[in-house]
């Protein structure tokens, strides 16, 4: 008989049991459910709601059950619907009727809200560690390439020369914001809902602050209706993970391009590439492609839960059972992507000569040629027009600004002198951009110092 079966005259249909059950996926909440129950019964004893001896018996039974679950010797029952009722039923089998006192003063509504919040906190801690590992890798790789020149792009057209380090550190900044969003999500999650009951608390004299302290929550949820029906923290997590995987997807897109024969900026390690079943020459960037591809499922989970929540009246509704699979899948996906993405980046070979050759083509120093004239007194718009004509001439005769004779420069404007060639050399173009946040070696080294300080503080 169901633990709630007193109201019902007959058993539920097997189809109902299967459709209603969540144990197939919420079984992973077993640890949070047990730890939450231990804190709850400790509080019940402290408040003289149940005898201390009963609390101790329940706590020991729960710890023994936790140990057996982690050993893999416990089987959950679909007829018990969810992890909460499975734990209670299993405990009752082990220690008898005293286990039935465990649910005094609470509902599955506030119980599941507690379990999910505790689970999200635990997973955020793991995700932050994985993210920091990738950020460390980017800093380490960047330190090796503060003078490696490559083209920067706009509209996927070569635009201006930058350093590879500068490019990598752009992703560091994105991931740093993702890390900060995980911290924000943790803070939004870290309010304790237990004691809210089904929706209207209870007549028992619960000490919710005691339970919050036991379970390391910063505070308790202030409104019982909100506490059992709030899934904003789940949405915060799904949004944060969607943004994180969007950043990984953008990076993956560049890795895919850079590893192509057309670019040849990087070569992926054999351990993080795959081949073709028919074309023996192929070395495919499948890891990057899969990270890019998995972005869609993480986005889908966010949109799915947003849609689930949009029309729900207060307080708890069974629709909210759909939250767990969404967050579980997104967490699992990100935890699968981050470590292998990190290793792919860590082991790839940088083809710095190819990067330099690409920066030398495509007139990436054209802006610097215009700035040369500006520094000699010409208005920027006029300088822009002069250099545009020079580029058109170079395209027509198939040459570059570096190779253009001085008399051609001077035929378009008398301010040009032989120092133009130094002004448009790629190292000068890059390293004169000393502005804070720029690509020069000097600016990037300053950025790296701040990045390392951030990582040190984040430990």
Catalytic site positions: 155, 276
- Helix H segments across 103-259? 108-143, 164-189, 208-214, 224-229, 232-258
CA pseudo-torsion sign 173, 174, 179, 183: positive
Element (H, E) at 150: strand 149-154
**Assigned token pair, 375:** 């520094």
Residues 6 or more apart whose Cβ sits within 8 Å of residue 10 = none
**Which secondary-structure segment (H or E) carries 158?**
strand 157-163
| 32 vs 105: CA distance, rounded Å | 18
DSSP 200-234: T--SS---HHHHHHHTT-SEE-S-HHHHHH--HHH
Contact 430, 161 (CB under 8 A): yes
Extract the tokens encoding 295.
């972005």
Distance CA 324, CA 311 (A): 18
Bridge partners of 163, per DSSP, are 149
The two tokens of residue 60 are 């020991």
Of 84, 122, 335, the residue nearest 217 (C-alpha) = 122
Cβ-contact 429, 436 below 8 angstroms: no
* Cα gap 399→397, rounded to integer Å: 6
- Joined tokens for residue 183: 């911290």
Report the alpha-carbon distance of residue 430 to residue 367 in Å, rounded.
11
Interatomic CA distance for residues 416 and 418, integer angstroms: 7
């Amino acid at each position: 008989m169901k633990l709630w079966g007193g109201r019902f005259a007959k058993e539920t249909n097997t189809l109902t049991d299967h459709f209603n059950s969540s144990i197939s996926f919420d079984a992973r909440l077993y640890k949070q459910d047990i730890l939450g129950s231990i804190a709850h019964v400790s509080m019940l004893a402290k408040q003289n709601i149940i005898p201390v001896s009963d609390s101790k018996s329940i706590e020991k039974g729960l710890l023994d059950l936790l140990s057996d679950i982690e050993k893999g010797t416990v089987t959950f029952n679909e007829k018990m619907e969810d992890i909460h009722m499975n734990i209670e039923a299993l405990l009752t089998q082990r220690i008898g009727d005293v286990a039935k006192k465990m649910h005094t003063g609470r509902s599955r509504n506030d119980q599941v809200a507690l379990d999910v919040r505790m689970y999200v906190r635990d997973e955020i801690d793991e995700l932050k560690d994985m993210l920091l590992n990738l950020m460390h890798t980017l800093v380490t790789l960047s330190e090796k390439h503060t003078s490696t020149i490559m083209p920067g792009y706009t509209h996927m057209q070569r635009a201006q020369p930058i350093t590879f380090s500068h490019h990598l550190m752009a992703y560091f900044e994105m991931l740093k914001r993702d890390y900060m969003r995980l911290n924000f999500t943790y803070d939004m999650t870290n309010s304790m809902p237990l004691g809210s009951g089904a929706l209207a608390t209870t007549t028992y004299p619960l000490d919710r602050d005691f339970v919050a302290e036991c379970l390391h929550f910063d505070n308790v949820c202030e409104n019982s209706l909100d506490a059992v029906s709030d899934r904003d923290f789940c949405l915060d997590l799904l949004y944060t993970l969607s943004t994180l995987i969007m950043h990984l997807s953008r990076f993956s897109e560049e890795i895919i391009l850079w590893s192509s024969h057309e670019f040849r900026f990087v070569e992926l390690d054999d351990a993080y590439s795959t081949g073709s079943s028919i074309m023996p020459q192929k070395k495919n960037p499948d890891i990057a492609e899969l990270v890019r591809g998995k972005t869609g499922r993480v986005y889908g989970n966010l949109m799915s839960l947003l849609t689930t929540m949009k029309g729900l009246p207060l307080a708890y509704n069974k629709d909210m059972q759909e939250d767990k699979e969404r967050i579980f899948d997104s967490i699992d996906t990100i935890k699968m992507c981050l470590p292998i993405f990190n290793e792919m980046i860590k082991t790839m070979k940088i083809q710095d000569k190819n990067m330099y050759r690409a920066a030398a083509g495509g007139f990436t120093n054209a802006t610097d040629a215009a700035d040369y004239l500006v520094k000699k007194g010409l208005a920027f718009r006029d300088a822009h027009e002069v250099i545009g004509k020079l580029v058109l001439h170079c395209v027509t005769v198939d040459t570059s600004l570096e190779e253009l004779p001085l008399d051609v420069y001077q035929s378009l404007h008398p301010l040009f002198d032989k120092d133009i060639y130094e002004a448009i050399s790629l190292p000068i173009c890059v390293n004169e951009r000393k502005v804070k946040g720029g690509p020069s070696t000097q600016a990037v080294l300053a950025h790296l110092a701040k990045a390392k300080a951030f990582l040190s503080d984040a430990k």
